[in-house]
Structure 1
Amino acid sequence: MDPIEAIAIDKDSTFALMWEAQRRGHEVWYALVDDLWARDGLPWVSARTARLAKVQGEHADLGPRVDLALGDVDLVWMRKDPPFHMDYIFNTYLLDYVPPPTLVVNAPHGLRAMNEKAWAIRFADLTPTSIITQSMDRIRALAEELGRIVVKPLDGNGGEGVFILRKDDPNIGVILEASTRHETRKVLAQTYLPEAKQGDKRIILVDGEPVGAVNRVPQGVDHRGNIHAGAAVDKATLTPREQEICARIGPDLREAGQIFVGIDVIGDWLTEVNVTSPTGIHEINTFDGVCLEALILDAADRRWRKLQE
């Protein structure tokens, strides 16, 4: 995961999962992705035990560092935030080495295959008109066709690097130069959805099934519906269209071993599928009076028990 001392315990979903595991009597270990290593095909991690408390600033009492064979634990959680770059992919290769019956959540092959921006657009009837390209001319042509578009990096999170562009925007050239790094990096460009002003809905799926949702509403002049970008959160339920979206993508997520997933829906359209480190647990728990981290651990436990058979 990311450095535990820097997290906000009332917002961080990883802390919620760790706390629930501790509450159930499990021993909890903590490590950074930089602490992963392998020798002779066996994965190891330099990890520390973590005793958790719900006191910000004193929320993790860490033990001494120990080299731990990942095959000696029951469950490994990969909860590193993007950017999704080659170092992230290299770490999923190490997690591929984890021998059964140890379970890795989410499954590393799915983390590699299901880019949070790019994977969704395979469902063309569920997503806005979209292109993935590094060509500035193609993006300009899309803006001319649609009038207004959104441009996103494929490896970001939290709304970072997301631009709304009009076809006559005087800054379109410099923005596309920065986004594509002068046409050396592919980006996602898609229809701007005016419904974004009413909110960007985060839906949590556990082993392919929707279990809760929260609406994230942009504030002020900032167009981003991300909690990290200052969006307000409102209680939300699923519409029939959103249920259809979940029913369509849920089986693929389940088959790929993606137990804890957050999808983003604006209006009637699927915009992102977050498999790396989705958030929203705390907000949904508060609005709906549920405990999503318990549902997630239950699903992981069921998967782990099947590996024992």
Structure 2
Amino acid sequence: MNILFVADPLESFKIYKDTTFVMMREAQRRGYSISACETQDISWQTGGKVCAQVRHITLTGDKDNWFAPDSKRPDGPEVLADFDAVLMRKDPPFDSEFFYSTHLLEQAEREGARVFNKPRALRDHPEKLALLEFSQFSGPTLVTRRAADIRRFHAEHKDIILKPLDGMGGMGIFRVTQDGMNLGSIIETLNKDGSQSVMVQKFLPAIAQGDKRVLVIGGKPVPYCLARIPQGGEVRGNLAAGGKGVAQALSARDQEIGNALGPVLAARGLLLAGVDVIGDSVTEINVTSPTCFQEIFDQTGFDVAAMFIDALEAALKG
């Protein structure tokens, strides 16, 4: 099997924690060929098929120089439909260029490519707004551009979290408690005089026990999640914001959420999703490039990458 990973620059990988890297490692362990490109390498021209300037690589096992060119396959332009699978693993932000990439990848699908996660599903599931469809699992949430709506929500719930819809890694998240300190300034910063939508959620004290990343692969929840616990007075548990990752078995509620969302997401072509849960409530559904494979494996021994490649193999046979 030949697998193309559409990802960030290989030189930027931190392989001690990178999920795409362990996907590659498990694929190579099974004898599969690995190639990589960036979204900027993908192109299309009239009369041709979607192609990309591709790097064919092998993993070396060396932590410093972790990949090398595949001497048997020279780098160069390749048609995406000629690969057995294309894995879209470009990290956020979901900006215009990411959006355009999904259209190119969807054209590649029409030409016969098998792309995971499915490009249309990536577009249809903005990571914060996706929970609107599953509101039975969410805490009190508001999405609005209107400052008056945010002030009303704060008056009702007293302690709230505000965040931009296009944020990642905890970027731009604010907490406002009952005194309302700086609420006006925060609203102005996030909604930019009503030109941008903001997500507002009731603060969930269970964040002290962690913002749990529940991975769903092939419609089934991974039996362990990673609880990302805020540190040093932070309200954000995101690893990128300094949170501490603690792997733990899924609770009954986590399993209920994973089992309910999993089949729906899988049917839409989302082979991998990362459902964020605080306490008993879903806060986000991540579909672009969910992570935490290595942290769970390192702490529990459960091989998430193997489960993922198993699911990929099953999807390709389906």
Q: Per the shorter chain, which TM-score range?
A: over 0.9
Contact 1:17 1:297 in 2 (8 A): yes
User: Which position in structure 2 is the counterpart of 1:75?
Assistant: 85
**103 and 230 in structure 1: CA distance in 2 versus 1, 3 angstrom threshold:** same
The alignment's TM-score, normalised by the length of structure 2, stands at 0.92
User: Which position in structure 2 is the counterpart of 1:24?
Assistant: 30
Matches within 5 A, 1:1-309: 1-40=7-46, 42-62=49-69, 65-99=75-109, 101-211=112-222, 212-306=224-318
CA distance in 2, matches of 1:221, 1:246: 30
* SS of the residue 2:32 aligns to: coil
Give the fraction of aligned pairs with identical amino acids, expressed as a percent. 36
Letter in 1 for 2:33: E
CA distance in 2, matches of 1:156, 1:44: 30
**29 and 268 in structure 1: CA distance in 2 versus 1, 3 angstrom threshold:** same
CA distance in 2, matches of 1:150, 1:104: 35
Structure 2: runs of 5 or more not aligned = 1-6
Letter in 2 for 1:172: L
CA distance in 2, matches of 1:297, 1:58: 24
Letter in 2 for 1:301: E
* SS of the residue 1:39 aligns to: coil
Contact 2:55 2:76 in 1 (8 A): yes
CA distance in 1, matches of 2:151, 2:229: 28
CA distance in 2, matches of 1:125, 1:305: 34
Letter in 2 for 1:286: D
RMSD: 1.5
CA distance in 2, matches of 1:38, 1:256: 25
CA distance in 2, matches of 1:152, 1:62: 42
Letter in 2 for 1:52: L
CA distance in 1, matches of 2:247, 2:278: 15
Post-superposition shift, 1:48? 0.7
CA distance in 1, matches of 2:219, 2:45: 34
CA distance in 1, matches of 2:79, 2:154: 51
Contact 2:90 2:289 in 1 (8 A): yes
Post-superposition shift, 1:21? 1.2
Structure 1: runs of 5 or more not aligned = none
* SS of the residue 2:137 aligns to: coil
CA distance in 1, matches of 2:251, 2:8: 34
Post-superposition shift, 1:208? 1.2
CA distance in 1, matches of 2:143, 2:135: 13
Post-superposition shift, 1:73? 0.6
Post-superposition shift, 1:101? 4.8
TM-superposition CA deviations, 1:93-148 (whole Å, max 9, x none): 11111246531111111111111110112222210111111112211111111001
Contact 2:81 2:114 in 1 (8 A): no
